[in-house]
């Protein structure tokens, strides 16, 4: 649809080609997973020329280089590949150019990532992104306002996503239980160590995370800010380290019931 951005993956010469497309057609474009100095500088220059270009960056490209992970197996396999310290510095120096933060969550298991060859690319990131970014905030790399803009406000604007409040007002009374409040409660002062150094144990027996991956490329890092509660569409989905598993069965039941009544 013409009112939605064209999305592309930030690798190689793709960015220059897509920026040219935006210039010729006047369409908005969104560039995913920006990881290199050259990429963020191209996007910055395009924005300065008034082109409709937005972009996102993943935590692993903001915090990790290839030297931070084991070289054997597939532990450092990700696309785009991890950059250098210079790339990381360039991303942070151009924080005002970055519109969104995205996990690019790829929950490949320990057995998959420990393969000598043929390991799938990608990192899990769903359970660590917020704490990593809050830690960066405490270290003075961004403000809380900038964090909220890139995790919440800007994605809604860029992709034309209706907010939960808008949906609540728009649907009938049967559907309103589905579109209640959504929020995250965080203990801003809590410090915790990210578990999951799977390349050391290569064991999947002791679960450390909720996602199937059960490991993290950020294992061992001490971060600040811990999620305590998650309210999803008016229902508690997570409370003090415990997932409310019955919520999702309830949600899909209500959604199906809503559509069957319309």
Instruction: Tell me the mean pLDDT per 10 residues along the chain, length 262.
Output: 86 86 94 97 97 98 94 90 97 98 95 90 95 97 96 93 64 54 90 80 68 91 94 84 65 47 44
pLDDT value at residue 206: 63
Give the neighbor-by-neighbor strand order of the sheet with 100-101: 6-9, 29-32, 53-57, 100-101
CB atoms within 10 A of CB 81: 13
Give the neighbor-by-neighbor strand order of the sheet with 235-239: 183-193, 222-232, 235-239, 242-243
Q: How many residues appear in the chain?
A: 262
Phi and psi at residue 43, to the nearest 5°: -65, -40
In the chain, beta strands by DSSP E: 6-9, 29-32, 53-57, 100-101, 183-193, 222-232, 235-239, 242-243
124-160 residues labelled b (16+ CB within 10 A) or e (exposed):
bbebbbbbbbbbbbeeeebeeebbebbbeebbeebee
In contact, 195 and 206? CB cutoff 8 Å:
no
Q: Give the whole-angstrom CA distance, residue 127 versus residue 54.
A: 25
pLDDT value at residue 133: 98
122: alpha, beta or left, given left = phi > 0 and alpha = psi -120 to 50? left
Q: Give the whole-angstrom CA distance, residue 186 versus residue 230.
A: 9
pLDDT value at residue 255: 47
Query: HSE (CB half, 13 Å, CA atoms) of 41?
Result: 8
Burial class (CB in 10 A: 0-12, 13-18, 19+), 83: buried
Q: Mind listing the domains of the chain with CATH numbers?
A: 58-261 (3.20.20.140)
Write out the two tokens for 252: 């899909």
pLDDT value at residue 236: 86
CB atoms within 10 A of CB 205: 7
Q: Give the whole-angstrom CA distance, residue 178 versus residue 43.
A: 38
């Amino acid at each position: 649809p013409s009112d939605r951005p064209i999305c592309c993956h930030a690798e190689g010469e793709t960015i220059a080609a897509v920026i040219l497309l935006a210039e010729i057609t006047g369409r908005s474009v969104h560039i995913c997973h920006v990881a290199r100095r050259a990429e963020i500088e191209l996007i910055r220059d395009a924005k300065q020329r008034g082109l409709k270009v937005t972009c996102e960056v993943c935590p692993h490209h903001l915090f990790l280089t290839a030297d931070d992970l084991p070289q054997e197996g597939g532990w450092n396999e990700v696309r785009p590949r991890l950059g250098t310290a210079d790339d990381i510095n360039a991303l942070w120096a151009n924080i005002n150019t970055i519109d969104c933060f995205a996990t690019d969550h790829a929950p490949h298991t320990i057995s998959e990532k420990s393969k000598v060859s043929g390991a799938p690319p990608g990192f899990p990131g769903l359970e660590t992104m917020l704490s990593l970014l809050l830690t960066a905030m405490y270290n003075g790399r961004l403000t809380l306002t900038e964090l909220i803009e890139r995790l919440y406000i800007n994605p809604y604007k860029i992709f034309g996503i209706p907010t939960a409040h808008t949906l609540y007002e728009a649907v009938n009374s049967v559907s309103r239980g589905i579109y209640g409040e959504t929020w995250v409660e965080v203990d801003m002062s809590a410090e915790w160590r990210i578990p999951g150094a799977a390349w050391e144990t290569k064991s999947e027996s002791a679960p450390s995370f909720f996602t199937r991956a059960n490991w993290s490329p950020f294992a061992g890092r001490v971060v600040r800010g811990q999620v305590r509660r998650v309210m999803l569409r008016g229902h508690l989905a997570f409370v003090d380290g415990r997932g409310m598993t019955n919520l999702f069965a309830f949600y899909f039941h209500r959604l199906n019931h809503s559509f069957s009544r319309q």
